[in-house]
Amino acid sequence: MIQQLSVSELSALLDEQPEQLANWQVIDVREPWEL
């Protein structure tokens, strides 16, 4: 499953559940037109 998150959502998840994100394969979520 591929989830697309905003920068703020991703930051919140990193703060709250870093051990969960450690299992994810993150594919360059930075999208300048969304910042």
Domain ranges in the chain?
A: 1-35
4-20: string of b/e by CB count within 10 Å (b at 16+)? eeeeeebeeeeeeeeee
pLDDT at res. 4: 72
pLDDT at res. 15: 76
* pLDDT per position as a tens digit, 3-33: 676 788 877 877 776 666 566 656 566 666 6
pLDDT at res. 21: 58
pLDDT at res. 26: 61
pLDDT at res. 14: 72
SS (HEC) of 1-35:
CCCCCCHHHHHHHHHHCHHHHCCCCCCCCCCHHHC
Q: Is the pTM of this model over 0.75?
A: no
Long-range contacts of 16-21 (CB under 8 A, 24+ apart): none
